[in-house]
Amino acid sequence: MLGADLLSYPNVHDAALYQTLPGKKVECSTCERRCVITEDQLGFCKTRQNIDGKLYTLVYGDVSTSSANPIEKKPFFHFWPGSYALTIGTWSCNFTCAWCQNFTISKFPPNPRKATYISPKELIDITLREQCQGTSISFNEPTLLFEYSLDAFRLARSKSLYNTYVSNGYLTLEALRMLKDAGLDAIKFDIKGDKEAYQKYCAADSSIVWRNVAEAKRLGLHTEVVTLVIPRVNDDEDCIKDIVNHHLEAAGPQTPLHFTQYYPAYKFTAPRTPVKTLENAHEIAKREGAQYVYVGNVPGHKWENTYCGRCGLLLVERFGFQVLKYRLTWDKRCPQCSEEIPIVGEYIKTRFII
């Protein structure tokens, strides 16, 4: 039986969500691809294998990259500003984006026999040692580390650490709810474009992602929405309006909405997104009723700051991933007009970005 020896490795772990089918087949229920996997075969993401009629994840604790990152890098602009998250990723992905900016890990399958294994306890120990305020599963799609997340998040919560996901949002509702119960505090959704863009570039259904945005809000998770604006993929006015309108319906006007600058990566050679295109997207979103709209990957741009929605006062000044000024009152209000500002957590004065 192929892969039977893998069961001795700590990074090969029982999958949490799947159904057994006749003929030793299984159906994975972690993401909405819901792969039906025959014996000894892998799912679409290449991180889950059917071994003797049971489903296993091959990447439990298989950390491809790790670093202490400012939370603004995710980007989360309304969640524990100034704080740091111990950020990890693994291998592969369940999407097919041709412009992936982390392609050196997301486009490569795991090698479970040569994994760099970090236990959940070790992860939390490193988080505390690095003086981070929380954890973040990112770099590639965090849903692939689903089982590991459940265990690590419970440990993190017991140490008063927050937990975050930076996700394409294609997980199942059951997976999302289990993450919330285990200790997920915040999730950032990467929106790839309108329905056509999802079908053409990701082989995916955009309605599932927006369904999960709405469910994250219903569950009380802190939620932010980001679109990497890519020339000739999702930068036209109709596509931006589609994103904004879905955002307002699923997440609401006070949920932060980011439009970030793309740069050429992996198989995509289109030039960097013009700043004017990002500014136009910002204008459309504000006109449609989104209250907190940001321009990203353009350090020093005025729209990477947070302004009071009522009086326009500059409340949080940023430069790239660094918070330069924080002017909210202790109860998260504008000091000039007392407007309540939807920011979760306290401002953490930690370290400077070098």
User: Over the stretch 233-292, which tens digit does the pLDDT of each residue have?
Assistant: 999 999 999 999 999 999 999 999 999 999 999 999 999 999 999 999 999 999 999 999
pLDDT tens sequence across 6-29? 999 999 999 999 999 999 999 999
Is there a single domain that holds both residue 122 and residue 49?
no
**Structure tokens of 5?**
């020896």
Whether 353 is covered by a domain: the verdict is: no
pLDDT of residue 5: 87
Judge whether 331 lies within some domain: no
Q: Which residue has tokens 């319906």?
A: 249
Q: Do 128 and 13 belong together in one domain?
A: no
Averaged pLDDT for residues 52-60:
97
Measuring CA to CA, which residue among 64, 165, 51, 60 is closest to residue 108? 64
Q: How many CB atoms lie within 10 A of CB 25?
A: 16
The mean pLDDT of the chain is: 96
256 and 175 share one domain: yes
Task: Categorize the per-residue pLDDT at 350 as very low, low, confident or very high, splitting at 50, 70 and 90.
Answer: low
Q: What is the mean pLDDT of residues 37-42?
A: 97
334 domain-assigned? no
pLDDT given for residue 347 in this prediction: 97
Has residue 30 been placed in a domain?
Answer: yes
Do 273 and 261 touch, CB atoms closer than 8 A? Answer: yes
pTM of the shown model: 0.96
Q: Where are the beta strands (DSSP E) in 71-181?
A: 84-89, 134-137, 162-167
Residue 53's SS3 state is coil
Q: What is the DSSP letter of 231?
A: T
Per-residue model confidence (pLDDT) at position 340: 97
Range of the domain at 268: 65-326
Reported as type and span, the H/E element at residue 249 is helix 237-250
Residue position matching structure tokens 């937990």: 163
Residue 1 has pLDDT above 90, yes or no: no
Give the model confidence (pLDDT) of 69-103 as tens digits. 999 999 999 999 999 999 999 999 999 999 999 99
Structure tokens given for 258 = 């980011």
Whether 179 and 290 map to the same domain: the answer is: yes
More confident residue, 329 or 1: 329
CATH for 72: 3.20.20.70
Same domain for 231 and 200, yes or no, is yes
**Cα 112 from Cα 352, distance rounded (Å):** 37
Assess if residue 217 is contained within a domain. yes
Whether residue 143 sits in one domain with residue 205: yes
Distance CA 244, CA 94 (A): 25
In this structure, are residues 257 and 240 in contact, taking their beta carbons and an 8 Å threshold?
A: no
pLDDT of residue 186: 98
**Residue-wise over 39-52: b if at least 16 C-beta within 10 A, else e?**
bebbbbbbbbbbbe
Q: What pLDDT, on the 0 to 100 scale, is given for residue 351?
A: 56
CA 122 to each of CA 65, 152, 156, 226: distance values in angstroms, whole numbers, following the listed order: 15, 9, 11, 31
Is the preceding peptide bond at 70 cis, omega within 30 degrees of 0? no
Instruction: Quote the number of domains for the chain.
Output: 2
Under a CB-based contact definition with an 8 Å cutoff, are residues 261 and 282 in contact?
no
Tens digit of pLDDT for each residue in 127-181? 999 999 999 999 999 999 999 999 999 999 999 999 999 999 999 999 999 999 9
Residue 121 lies in a domain: yes
Assess whether 258 and 300 both reside in one domain.
Answer: yes
